[in-house]
Structure 1
Amino acid sequence: MSSDSVIVLDDRYRLLDELGHGGMSDVFRATDELLQREVAVKVLREVEDPVLRARFIAEAQLLARLNHPGLVTLLDAGIRADRPYLVMTLAEGPTLAAQLAAGALPPQTVAEIGTQVAAALAYAHAQGVTHRDVKPSNVLLCGDSRALLADFGIARLAGDLEQHTRTGETIGSPAYLAPEQAAGEAVTSAADVYSLGLVLLEALTGERAFPGAPLETAVQRLVASPPMPVSLPRPWRDLLTAMTARDPAARPTAEDVAAATAAIATGTVPALPDPGESTQPLAVTTDGSAAASTKGGRASARRGPRRRWLLVAALVVVAVAVALVLLLRPSGDPQPTRGGTEVPANVPERYQQPLQELHDAIEEPR
């Protein structure tokens, strides 16, 4: 669709210049002729199935109820000529992706951006909505020092329309997908926390944690955690390590992340809750290490057995990771990949289908 072929949508939204386009949509600056204001209109791919059309409208109604200062608000939705469209507030300003093209950002700036984005995620998660596609190009940086999160839920809508109906559809951007998304497993709000962790890590270092082709990046995060540079301050390393834990249950909530990045921004060290010991909140010592608060020494008494259990669990995880790495390591006879478009045959069987679907479904690297 272009502004030449469709001038006005539903006798209301006059399309002007194109702001951007991607694998699943085109975005236009437009005029709302009823309310006389400028808006952004995202036009998605065609959909003819009436069931999917009804689902699109239902999901759009849910997203339209989200109202938070850190979100680009969805104002309206419709379907014209079998192509769904979404009307959103027009946010002027560069994306975080554009800013990162010039290199890493100051840690203070990253902390402020992280606080705002995490707060927006926490709000939406409380409403039962998961973003599914947190990435630098979906973070808009406005001139008044605001960071806005765009395209909330759009990945889920597009996934429905494309009929990627596996549990926890793998729609999203491969460089920032959580491991469970890459594996086609159930997607929860923890996936957004993982993706935000990769975004913040890139903002601090100027480099993607998982570079490369979509399949390559997806396989990498199934067997390895993102590298954490020792040059990062201890609070950042602790926070980002927790956010990018491969086990979704081990990650902090978006609300926890917002509190942690706000503390980093103000020069204090954050306290992240321990998912396995929620009744004993973690405190952080002056050197950045975590210690459980105690009452009469009872927490300290519990710590020994728990640490032994964690050590055993960690050894199991390491053993599994090593086994997978050995499976994925190239052998003397190279596996056929057809130029990187097929999952290598030595990838564990349970990951074969979801990884291939991921490659087929995602075209945009960012």
Structure 2
Amino acid sequence: MLPPQPASDSPNPLSDDDWVDVRCDECETRLRRGESVDLYKFAQQCDPRLHDRLVHELLVLDIDYASRLRTVTRDEYLARYPQLRQQIEALDFHIGIDSKGAEQPTASWVAPAIEGLVKGRDIAHYRLVRKVGEGAMGQVWQAHDLRLDRTVALKLPNAIDMSPDVRQRFLREGQAASQLRHPNLVTVHAVGRDGPYAYIATEFIEGGDLGRELKAGPLPVKRVVELAAALAEALHHAHQHGVVHRDLKPANILLDLDGVPRITDFGLAKWERDASALTAHGQLLGTPAYMAPEQALGKTSEIDCRTDVYGLGAILYEALTGQPPHSGDRAAVLLSVIHIDPPMPRRLRRSVPRDLDTICRKALQKRPEGRYATSQELAVDLRRFQRGEMILARRANPLRRLLQTVQRRPAAAVVVLLATLLAVTALAFRELQLQNRELRGAREVAILTAPPGAQVAFVPIEETTGRLLVEEMSSKPIEAPGNARLTPGDYLVAARWNDGRFHEVFRRVPAKSVDAPGQFRHTRWLIRENNVIELPPIEAPPNQVVEGMLRVPTESDGPVDDFILVDPYPTTFAQALALRQGRPFGDPRSHGAPNSPATVSYDQAVELAERAGKRLPTEREWELISRRSKSNEGAHSSGIKGLFAGLAEWTTTPAGAATGTRTLTNSVASLSDTRIARGADRDRLDSGIEPDEPSRNAMASVVLWRHEVRPRLVFRCVRSSRPRLDTDDFRFLTEQ
């Protein structure tokens, strides 16, 4: 007998960190939509052990979003949440991470040491006029220089009693920047202390910053090129004086009233003439969304001028496309910076010229040696592009490269020729496949999602083996609503929305000879005007869909974050009825106790899994899950239950993929109408009786008709860890 499912107040099978992250993600989604969230009630739903920790994270998140629209005060939050007085009192000042991975002040109160700074106060010979901003290390004031009668920007650290490391880094910013004089760098006038206050005085730039301008969207290409070229030349000047900025981002690019850019905030600068090592190896400093991979890995010894080339490339990317190259929470951004190449700028904005796309991608290479060697080289290419000349980053003509390879490396030439022949053959094969698709009766299909706007990829499924035919995928996703020409057959369909949600479902495109649609969501269709096939819309799952699911590594060669999310228990009758909003399914007389596993046909299981925002596993995924469960079965520490309880669980794999000896329930006439169930053999399934001792044979399997319903035939839901839209994304699912 299966152990009962945990009640809602049982400890979550996710780790504490994952559980808090899930709840914070749910809260952030609602805040992003502009909804009001009662943090006190929201936190009451959590495990009491994690209450204080979750409250702290929720307060920081709420203050972060509120402070982007208005000034927030401690008194405001104390009045709203008197029950959380202790946690609110503890929040003197906090730095959060915005949606672009940039550090943001999340409250208007700061450390008591500079809380009393007001207009008219004198720091040394500078009189404070107005506060113009706050950063990770200090406040910035517009001030008047009483000695030289000029307006300056005065930067002050957040606390008088700074640690030696923070004080040294703050003063080092002024020392590094004071060596530099360039029209596109903010000039530093003085560095000093006045009693307990340390300060840096710079020229005051009347205007705004690039980050504020980019909030309105991408800039005209001509302006982007002029900005980027000027900034690259300014960086080259800094690099010639041994100064590497290390924290380039739009917020650190000031724009004067004429739109001239000025680089500021050398708070993380690496000054090569300073022999002291302020940053230990492995310490992470910088803004994740604009951080080079060597910074994200904490390899401070490898940081040089090419690190700034990457940072400027990230700014160039955002100015061209309207979004940074990497986005998400801090952990996701760092992982993406290290392992994932961003989409080509031209894929996000078709008006981006090819040469400018090439320049941007060269600056954003993961390996420093793949980037421009200096910012001057980047500036030269940008100026060449401005003048309409051939850029240096452009790849040489393929024939010329081949001849050069033959001359330099005769042996390697053979490899190049073979690779070229294979590429030509693959292209020809692809063209033949497309022609064959038309011959096989491709149909115009209307693609819908709810909400609309998702990117959708259709992956054909081989009907007898279940293999994903990724070689027949479309070259790029389709934006819904939209139309596509698809060959009749079954498809795995992946949809990704702009807010990060995604879903993987099954759909069937009918042949022209088929008159009636199926009764399930994945087999239904309508015929529109002009003989266009309309498939049921793909619905975005709720953000909390992953709650309670467990992680199982895929053991593939793909990205490090590749894993399967799996439900700890088979789906119960109560859950199945809830998914159908109380409407019965199958024969109600066959229903067991509410908390017992639901016994359904394969197609019923597929539809219920889709309604849950999940899908059924392939046979290979089931084997990975069962290996994890078996390796931990003694203590049940894996959290995956019921795999060895003598139940058969549906997989999406047809009998044509079977290897070795399988037990068939009938004489199978059409392999496409069969599916493999794992966890029990024919004898155990036919008996319908719970065994005295659960089976420990993870390889037990049976081939069934997809319409069969048996007392011990159940299903368990899984979900991919990330959206899959490109050919490479399906590498694991195609490894059968």
Which TM-score bucket, shorter chain as reference? 0.7 to 0.9
Q: CA deviation at 1:48?
A: 4.3
Q: Retained in 1: the 8 A contact 2:157–2:170?
A: no
Structure 1 CA distance, aligned partners of 2:210 and 2:189? 23
Q: 1:188 and 2:307 equivalent?
A: no
Q: Measured at CA, do residues 140 and 51 of structure 1 come closer, stay the same or move farther in structure 2, by a change above 3 Å? A: closer
Report the counterpart of residue 342 of structure 1 in structure 2.
Answer: none
Q: 1:199 and 2:315 equivalent?
A: yes
Structure 2 CA distance, aligned partners of 1:58 and 1:209? 30
Q: Measured at CA, do residues 13 and 112 of structure 1 come closer, stay the same or move farther in structure 2, by a change above 3 Å? A: same
Q: Retained in 2: the 8 A contact 1:191–1:248?
A: yes
Deviation string, structure 1 residues 71-119 (Cα, Å, up to 9, x no partner): 0011111234555321111011221111111111011000000011000
Q: CA deviation at 1:188?
A: 1.3
Q: Measured at CA, do residues 305 and 125 of structure 1 come closer, stay the same or move farther in structure 2, by a change above 3 Å? A: farther
User: What does 1:35-50 align with in structure 2 at a 5 Å threshold?
Assistant: 35-46=148-159, 47-49=161-163
Structure 1 CA distance, aligned partners of 2:278 and 2:172? 17
Report the counterpart of residue 369 of structure 2 in structure 1.
Answer: 249
Q: Retained in 1: the 8 A contact 2:320–2:345?
A: no
Deviation string, structure 1 residues 198-217 (Cα, Å, up to 9, x no partner): 11111011112211112211
User: 1:38 is paired with a residue of what secondary structure?
Assistant: strand
Letter in 2 for 1:238: T
User: 2:147 is paired with a residue of what secondary structure?
Assistant: coil
Report the counterpart of residue 127 of structure 2 in structure 1.
Answer: 14
Q: CA deviation at 1:146?
A: 1.7
Structure 2 CA distance, aligned partners of 1:148 and 1:305? 51
Q: Retained in 2: the 8 A contact 1:223–1:324?
A: no
User: What does 1:327-366 align with in structure 2 at a 5 Å threshold?
Assistant: 327-332=560-565
Report the counterpart of residue 264 of structure 1 in structure 2.
Answer: 385
Q: CA deviation at 1:302?
A: 2.5
Structure 2 CA distance, aligned partners of 1:95 and 1:306? 50
Q: Measured at CA, do residues 51 and 179 of structure 1 come closer, stay the same or move farther in structure 2, by a change above 3 Å? A: closer
Q: Retained in 1: the 8 A contact 2:169–2:267?
A: no
Q: CA deviation at 1:52?
A: 6.2
Structure 2 CA distance, aligned partners of 1:238 and 1:303? 27
Structure 2 CA distance, aligned partners of 1:204 and 1:15? 38
Structure 2 CA distance, aligned partners of 1:15 and 1:324? 58
User: 2:207 is paired with a residue of what secondary structure?
Assistant: coil
Q: Measured at CA, do residues 127 and 299 of structure 1 come closer, stay the same or move farther in structure 2, by a change above 3 Å? A: farther
Report the counterpart of residue 281 of structure 1 in structure 2.
Answer: none
User: 2:345 is paired with a residue of what secondary structure?
Assistant: coil
Deviation string, structure 1 residues 286-314 (Cα, Å, up to 9, x no partner): xxx4359x9xx8787237777869x99xx
Q: 1:215 and 2:331 equivalent?
A: yes
User: What does 1:291-330 align with in structure 2 at a 5 Å threshold?
Assistant: 301-302=407-408, 325-330=558-563
User: 1:332 is paired with a residue of what secondary structure?
Assistant: strand
Indicate which of 330, 333, 343 corresponds to 1:227: 343
Q: Retained in 1: the 8 A contact 2:289–2:337?
A: no
Q: Retained in 2: the 8 A contact 1:45–1:84?
A: no
Structure 1 CA distance, aligned partners of 2:120 and 2:165? 25
Structure 2 CA distance, aligned partners of 1:219 and 1:4? 42
In the alignment of these two chains, the number of paired residues is 300
Letter in 2 for 1:41: L
Q: CA deviation at 1:268?
A: 2.4
Letter in 1 for 2:140: V
Report the counterpart of residue 506 of structure 2 in structure 1.
Answer: none
Report the counterpart of residue 118 of structure 2 in structure 1.
Answer: 4
Q: Measured at CA, do residues 241 and 255 of structure 1 come closer, stay the same or move farther in structure 2, by a change above 3 Å? A: same
Letter in 1 for 2:408: R
User: 1:290 is paired with a residue of what secondary structure?
Assistant: coil
Q: Retained in 2: the 8 A contact 1:156–1:169?
A: no
Give 5+ residue unaligned stretches, structure 1.
Answer: 273-283, 313-321, 335-366
User: 2:243 is paired with a residue of what secondary structure?
Assistant: coil
Query: If each structure's helix is expressed as a fraction of its own residues, which one has the higher value?
Result: 1
Give 5+ residue unaligned stretches, structure 2.
Answer: 1-113, 420-554, 568-736
Q: CA RMSD in A?
A: 3.2
Structure 1 CA distance, aligned partners of 2:236 and 2:282? 19
Q: CA deviation at 1:326?
A: 3.8
Deviation string, structure 1 residues 121-150 (Cα, Å, up to 9, x no partner): 011011110011111111122233421111
Structure 1 CA distance, aligned partners of 2:163 and 2:357? 47
Q: CA deviation at 1:264?
A: 1.8
Q: 1:100 and 2:214 equivalent?
A: yes
Structure 2 CA distance, aligned partners of 1:24 and 1:306? 53
Structure 1 CA distance, aligned partners of 2:222 and 2:412? 35
Q: Retained in 1: the 8 A contact 2:184–2:230?
A: yes
Indicate which of 212, 224, 229 corresponds to 1:115: 229
Q: CA deviation at 1:39?
A: 0.3
Structure 1 CA distance, aligned partners of 2:391 and 2:240? 22
Structure 2 CA distance, aligned partners of 1:205 and 1:44? 34
Structure 2 CA distance, aligned partners of 1:5 and 1:69? 30
Structure 2 CA distance, aligned partners of 1:300 and 1:145? 50
User: 2:235 is paired with a residue of what secondary structure?
Assistant: helix
Structure 2 CA distance, aligned partners of 1:156 and 1:131? 4
Q: Retained in 2: the 8 A contact 1:164–1:170?
A: no
Q: Retained in 1: the 8 A contact 2:344–2:361?
A: yes
Structure 2 CA distance, aligned partners of 1:59 and 1:150? 10
Structure 2 CA distance, aligned partners of 1:83 and 1:68? 28
Q: Measured at CA, do residues 37 and 237 of structure 1 come closer, stay the same or move farther in structure 2, by a change above 3 Å? A: same
Deviation string, structure 1 residues 228-261 (Cα, Å, up to 9, x no partner): 1332321112111110111112210200111111
Q: 1:65 and 2:186 equivalent?
A: no
Q: CA deviation at 1:56?
A: 5.0
Q: Retained in 2: the 8 A contact 1:31–1:39?
A: yes
Report the counterpart of residue 639 of structure 2 in structure 1.
Answer: none
Q: Retained in 2: the 8 A contact 1:76–1:86?
A: yes
Q: CA deviation at 1:169?
A: 4.5
Report the counterpart of residue 278 of structure 1 in structure 2.
Answer: none
Q: What TM-score do you get using the length of structure 2 for normalisation?
A: 0.38
Bigger relative CO (Cα 8 Å, ≥ 6 apart) = 1
User: 1:327 is paired with a residue of what secondary structure?
Assistant: coil
Deviation string, structure 1 residues 11-54 (Cα, Å, up to 9, x no partner): x0111111111232111100111111000011123354557646
Q: 1:171 and 2:277 equivalent?
A: no
Report the counterpart of residue 139 of structure 2 in structure 1.
Answer: 26
Q: What TM-score do you get using the length of structure 1 for normalisation?
A: 0.73
Structure 2 CA distance, aligned partners of 1:165 and 1:123? 23
Report the counterpart of residue 698 of structure 2 in structure 1.
Answer: none
User: 1:166 is paired with a residue of what secondary structure?
Assistant: coil
Q: Measured at CA, do residues 332 and 138 of structure 1 come closer, stay the same or move farther in structure 2, by a change above 3 Å? A: same
Indicate which of 198, 201, 208 corresponds to 1:84: 198
Residue identity (%): 32
Letter in 2 for 1:193: V
Letter in 1 for 2:388: G
